[in-house]
């Protein structure tokens, strides 16, 4: 490639374009509803649409955190939505049996880790394609959740449990704070140690990383276990948000949102490089998009179309080839004009 600049230019982070898309979306909302970004103090806590977006989006953010690592190893986890349904159901049961919040959370983490371990072993030890391996639990998991709840919606009346999704700490919503903290801890654990590098190495070239002395299979299993734990905790947030465990519908299509958030955030489905911040922003974009449809009053039957258009737009912005095409057309225009 011939570049007029002889100096190799540093590639622009894909996050820039994601943030640009997000900003455009917010601007669009502001033209229709100037109060879109207004945050007020109400009943002793922050109140407003941005707070809603953060609170509602925290669940997809949490799912996307685990999904990022799995995708970075070159895999994918389709079962996260069903795992959410199982952990929600298990939480409802433990709380109904009078167990403490700590036991309930431990149960949720345990169930999530077990699900992740099952996925990880199928993928890393038995060599089953990730889509197929996790599809098993995606389908069977709904059945398990239904079995646990006996096909009923279990009602949860537990103030401390519901606080996890709807509570406020010093006026700020708890769920996004907790998820944000998890992102920071994960970032430190992955980037301050070699763990992140190991995951990227396995995703880039599994064989080479194995020859380099990396326990590639173990790295993969651990990524799935981490993803399972994130899904388990998301199940807690989903159940706590509505004060009920719905085995049939909790976490429905959540896996697609999570995968989208990760990919639009700049982590390639082919594995290798990953960015946690990108996934976080990707999840934020999805939730902003959903809220935008409510705010603009788009009829629900046609809402998927503008949603898809925005997603295509952001993807195009991120595509280097597309940007090069536009830049070339722009330059040609400028030259003929001069």
Partner 1 sequence: MHTLPRRWFSLFAGALALLAAGSLLAQTPKKPLKIGFSQTGAESAWRTANTVSMKTEAEKRGIDLKFSDAQSKQENQIRAVRSFITQGVDVIVIAPIVETGWDPVLREAKRAHIPVILTDRTIKTEDESLYACFIGSDFYEEGRMAADWLAKFAAGKGNIVELQGTPGSAPANERRKAFADAITKYPGLKIIDSQSGDFRRAGGKEVMEAFLKKHSKAIDVVYAHNDDMALGAAQAIEEAGLKPGKDITIVTIDAINEAIQAIVDGRINCTVECSPLFGPKVYETAAKLVAGEKVPKKAYNKDELFDSSNAAAALPSRVY
Q: Rounded to whole angstroms, how far apart are CA atoms 338 and 334?
A: 6
Q: With respect to partner 1, which residue has the nearer C-beta, 29 or 119?
A: 29
Any contact of residue 82 with partner 1 (CB under 8 A)?
no
Residue with tokens 């096909």: 151
Q: Which range in 48-56, 66-74, 228-236, 326-334 contacts partner 1 by CB under 8 A?
A: 48-56
Please name the residue ranges forming H helices in 121-215. Answer: 130-149, 159-166, 174-191, 195-204, 206-211
∠ at Cα 256 (250, 262), nearest 5°? Answer: 120
Any contact of residue 56 with partner 1 (CB under 8 A)?
yes
Q: Rounded to whole angstroms, how far apart are CA atoms 210 and 123?
A: 16
Q: With respect to partner 1, which residue has the nearer C-beta, 294 or 322?
A: 294
Beta bridge partners of 40: 47
Any contact of residue 301 with partner 1 (CB under 8 A)?
yes
Answer whether 186's CB lies under 8 Å from 261's CB: no
Using the rule CB under 8 A, which residue among 15, 303, 311, 316 binds partner 1?
A: 303
Q: With respect to partner 1, which residue has the nearer C-beta, 205 or 295?
A: 295
Any contact of residue 313 with partner 1 (CB under 8 A)?
no
Using the rule CB under 8 A, which residue among 13, 106, 189, 294 binds partner 1?
A: 294
Any contact of residue 34 with partner 1 (CB under 8 A)?
no
Q: How many residues bind partner 1 (CB under 8 A)?
A: 34
**C-alpha dist (Å) from residue 319 to 13, 241, 280, 284:** 11, 37, 20, 20
Using the rule CB under 8 A, which residue among 225, 291, 314, 318 binds partner 1?
A: 291
Using the rule CB under 8 A, which residue among 15, 19, 52, 135 binds partner 1?
A: 52
Using the rule CB under 8 A, which residue among 17, 18, 21, 49 binds partner 1?
A: 49
CA 174, 180, 186, 189 torsion: positive or negative? negative
Using the rule CB under 8 A, which residue among 101, 153, 215, 268 binds partner 1?
A: 153
Provide the 10 A C-beta neighbour count for residue 15: 17
Beta bridge partners of 48: 39
Under DSSP, is residue 303 helix (H, G, I), strand (E, B) or coil?
coil
Any contact of residue 171 with partner 1 (CB under 8 A)?
no
Q: With respect to partner 1, which residue has the nearer C-beta, 199 or 238?
A: 238
Any contact of residue 248 with partner 1 (CB under 8 A)?
yes
The secondary structure of 37-53, three-state, reads CCEEEECCEEEEHHHHH
Q: Rounded to whole angstroms, how far apart are CA atoms 166 and 112?
A: 22
Residues between 205 and 244 with contacts to partner 1, criterion CB under 8 A: 238, 241-244
CA 15, 13, 31, 35 torsion: positive or negative? positive
Q: With respect to partner 1, which residue has the nearer C-beta, 180 or 243?
A: 243
Binding site for partner 1 (CB under 8 A): 33, 35, 42-43, 47-49, 52, 56, 151-153, 155, 166, 238, 241-244, 246, 248-250, 252, 290-291, 293-295, 297, 299-301, 303
């Amino acid at each position: 490639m011939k570049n007029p600049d002889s100096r190799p230019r540093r590639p622009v982070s894909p996050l820039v374009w994601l943030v640009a898309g997000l900003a455009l979306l917010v601007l669009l909302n502001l033209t229709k509803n100037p109060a879109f970004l207004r945050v007020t103090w109400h009943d002793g806590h922050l109140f407003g649409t941005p707070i809603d977006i953060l609170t509602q989006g925290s669940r997809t953010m949490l799912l996307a955190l685990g999904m990022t690592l799995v995708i970075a190893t070159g895999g994918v986890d389709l079962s996260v939505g069903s795992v959410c349904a199982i952990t929600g159901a298990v939480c409802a049961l433990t709380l109904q049996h009078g167990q403490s919040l700590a036991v309930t959370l431990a149960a949720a983490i345990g169930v999530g880790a077990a699900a992740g371990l099952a996925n990880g072993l199928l993928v890393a030890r038995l060599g089953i394609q990730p889509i197929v391996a996790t599809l098993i639990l995606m389908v069977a998991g709904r059945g398990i959740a239904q079995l646990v709840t006996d096909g009923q919606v279990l009602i949860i009346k537990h103030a401390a449990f519901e606080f996890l999704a709807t509570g406020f700490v010093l006026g700020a919503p708890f769920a996004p704070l907790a998820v944000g903290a998890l992102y920071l801890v994960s970032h430190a654990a992955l980037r301050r140690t070699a763990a992140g590098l190991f995951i990227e190495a396995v995703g880039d070239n599994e064989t080479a990383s194995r020859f380099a002395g990396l326990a590639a299979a173990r790295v993969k299993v651990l990524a799935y276990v981490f993803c399972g734990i994130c899904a388990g905790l998301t199940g807690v947030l989903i159940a706590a948000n509505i004060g009920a465990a719905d085995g049939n519908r909790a976490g429905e299509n959540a896996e697609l949102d999570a995968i989208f958030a990760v990919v639009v955030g700049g982590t390639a489905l082919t594995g290798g490089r990953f960015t946690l911040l990108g996934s976080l922003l990707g999840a934020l974009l999805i939730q902003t998009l959903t809220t935008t449809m409510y705010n603009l009053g788009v009829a629900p039957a046609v809402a998927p179309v503008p949603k898809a258009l925005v997603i295509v737009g952001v993807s195009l912005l991120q595509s280097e080839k597309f940007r090069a095409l536009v830049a070339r057309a722009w330059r040609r225009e400028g030259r003929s004009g001069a």
